[in-house]
């Protein structure tokens, strides 16, 4: 994360009087993440994560917070949001919309093996199945409309080659029949740093938490699978590791079998997912936001992944 907006301890201590979670013991800014300001908050009653939302319109925030509550209620390791004494998940702190969620245990695994990929595939299918009964609907904030608008802003910062790649890929994506694909609430950013791992009693790996639902939205479920495969199963040069991809996709398929339309759209979805993160990283890189601790991820990694996915894509399991 990053901290764009600092929060003095005295201000937070006062704000917490609106909650039933005890008194402030410790406040610590978190340096991972790119979108919002995040803090670990320890009180006399528990451990929480405080998020100050930096760019997301306030009206869109209930979708994310209620989705997290919905998935948590369905038994998935998703941080439940904390309601304040007015029974609201969303408050205001330092003139920003702000929310507290439960702090889940575990650490990210940035070098996942087959067991990790299998568990992530099964978890993603679980999120998609539980999401089918989520009553609210909000479009993917990084979907086709965002892509078109951001392409205009980005173009002047790109090389001639990159402009050609961007234009061609946006034109290609416009030809894909996304409406033919099963859709629902998707996480849309299930990268390795958004999954926390714990250890089982028998020493096996276990997902302790899936975090950061603030890019979630309604879209093709397969887009979410593609985002996840591109991050969890890429080799250092951006190619796909066939074994890790198979572990993730087989485990997903065992919970929610892929349809024929999804099989046909898979290469295009891997490309759409790569394009989305190339564009967002390039926008963050060329148009950085001011902040106390700001993390900017390498856009070229996803530009290269996009080029490789255009060249080749593995099939989905049958
Ligand atoms: N509920 C949580 N439990 C434990 N750690 C969390 C939780 N939410 C966030 N974190 C930590 O905060 C970091 C940044 O959160 P993230 O949601 O990815 O930020 P951003 O909203 O800026 O993208 C994560 O990498 C993780 O270390
Ligand atoms: N996962 C995205 C950026 C979103 O940041 P996050 O910290 O909220 O996951 C990327 O890698 O570009």
Whether the CA torsion 282, 283, 288, 294 is positive or negative: it is: negative
Q: Which of ligand 1's atoms lies nearest the C-alpha of 214? A: 21
CA 15 to CA 17: how far, in whole Å? 5
Listed residue (183, 206, 179, 203) closest to 195, CA to CA: 206
Distances (CA, A) of 187 to 94, 126, 213, 301: 27, 11, 6, 21
Count of Cβ atoms closer than 10 Å to residue 38 Cβ:
23
| Nearest ligand for residue 48 CA | 1
Q: pTM of the full predicted structure?
A: 0.93
Q: Is 171 exposed, middle or buried (0-12, 13-18, 19+ CB in 10 A)?
A: exposed
Kindly report the protein residue whose alpha carbon is nearest to atom 23 of ligand 1: 33
Cα of 92 vs centre of ligand 2, distance in Å, is 24
| Nearest ligand for residue 195 CA | 1
CB-ligand 1 contact for 35 (6 Å cutoff) = yes
CB-ligand 1 contact for 34 (6 Å cutoff) = yes
In tens digits, the chain (318 residues) has pLDDT values of 467 899 999 999 999 999 999 999 999 999 876 679 999 999 999 999 999 999 899 999 999 999 999 999 999 999 999 999 999 999 999 999 999 999 999 999 999 999 999 999 999 999 999 999 999 999 999 999 999 999 999 999 999 999 999 999 999 999 999 999 999 999 999 999 999 999 888 888 899 999 999 999 999 999 999 999 999 999 999 999 999 999 999 999 999 999 999 999 999 999 999 999 999 999 999 988 765 555 678 999 999 999 999 999 888 988
ipTM for this prediction? 0.89
- CATH classification number, 9-102, choose in 3.40.50.300, 3.50.50.60, 3.40.190.10, 3.30.200.20: 3.30.200.20
Task: Find the angle CA(169)-CA(218)-CA(2) to the nearest 5 degrees.
Answer: 80
Q: What is the CATH number of domain 114-311?
A: 3.90.1200.10
Check residue 119 and give left, alpha or beta (phi > 0: left; psi -120 to 50: alpha).
Answer: alpha
Kindly report the protein residue whose alpha carbon is nearest to atom 16 of ligand 1: 33
Listed residue (244, 190, 240, 192) closest to 212, CA to CA: 190
Question: Would 9-102 and 114-311 be classified into the same CATH topology?
Answer: no
Listed residue (231, 220, 223) closest to 271, CA to CA: 223
Q: Where are the domains of the chain?
A: 9-102, 114-311
Cα of 20 vs centre of ligand 2, distance in Å, is 31
Output the pLDDT for position 34: 63
Dmax (CA) of the chain: 57
CA 61 to CA 68: how far, in whole Å? 11
CB-ligand 1 contact for 214 (6 Å cutoff) = yes
CB burial string 138-168: b at 16+ within 10 A, e below: eebbbbbebbeebbeebeeebeeebeebbee
Cα of 96 vs centre of ligand 1, distance in Å, is 18
Q: Which of ligand 1's atoms lies nearest the C-alpha of 193? A: 25
Listed in sequence order, the residues at least 6 apart from 43 whose beta carbon sits closer than 8 Å to its beta carbon are 16, 21, 22, 23, 24, 25
Output the pLDDT for position 194: 96
Beta strands in the chain (DSSP E): 24-29, 37-43, 47-52, 91-93, 96-102, 183-186, 195-199, 205-210, 217-220
Backbone angles phi, psi at 209, to 5 degrees: -165, 145
Cα of 32 vs centre of ligand 1, distance in Å, is 7
DSSP type of residue 205: E
CA end-to-end span of the chain, whole Å? 38
Output the pLDDT for position 2: 65
Listed in sequence order, the residues at least 6 apart from 205 whose beta carbon sits closer than 8 Å to its beta carbon are 109, 115, 116, 119, 197, 198, 199
| Nearest ligand for residue 108 CA | 1
């Amino acid at each position: 994360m990053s901290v764009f907006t600092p929060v003095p301890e005295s201000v937070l201590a006062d704000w917490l009087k609106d909650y039933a979670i005890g008194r402030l013991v410790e406040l610590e800014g978190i340096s991972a993440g790119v979108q919002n300001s995040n803090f670990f908050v320890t009180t006399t009653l528990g451990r929480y994560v405080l998020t100050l939302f930096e760019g997301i319109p306030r009206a869109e925030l209930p979708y994310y917070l209620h989705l997290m509550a919905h998935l948590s209620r369905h038994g998935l390791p998703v941080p439940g949001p904390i309601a304040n004494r007015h029974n609201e998940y969303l408050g205001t702190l330092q003139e920003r919309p702000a929310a507290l969620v439960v702090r889940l245990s575990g650490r990210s695994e940035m070098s996942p093996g087959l067991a990790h990929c299998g568990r992530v595939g099964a978890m993603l299918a679980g999120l998609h199945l539980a999401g089918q009964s989520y009553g609210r609907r909000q479009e993917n904030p990084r979907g086709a409309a965002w892509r078109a608008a951001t392409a205009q802003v980005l173009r002047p910062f790109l090389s001639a080659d990159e402009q050609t790649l961007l234009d061609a890929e946006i034109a290609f994506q416009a030809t894909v029949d996304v409406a033919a694909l099963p859709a629902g609430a998707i996480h849309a950013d299930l990268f390795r740093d958004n999954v926390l791992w714990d250890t089982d009693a028998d020493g096996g790996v276990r997902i302790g938490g899936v975090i950061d639902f603030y890019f979630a939205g309604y879209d093709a479920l397969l887009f979410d699978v593609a985002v996840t495969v591109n991050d969890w199963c890429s080799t250092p040069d951006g190619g796909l590791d066939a074994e890790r991809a198979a572990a993730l996709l087989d485990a997903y398929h065992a919970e929610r079998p892929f349809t024929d339309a999804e099989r046909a759209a898979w290469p295009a979805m891997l490309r759409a997912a790569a394009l989305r993160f190339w564009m967002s990283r390039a926008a963050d890189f060329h148009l950085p936001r001011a902040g106390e601790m700001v993390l900017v991820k390498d856009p070229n990694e996803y530009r290269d992944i996009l080029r490789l996915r255009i060249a080749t894509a593995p099939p989905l399991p049958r």
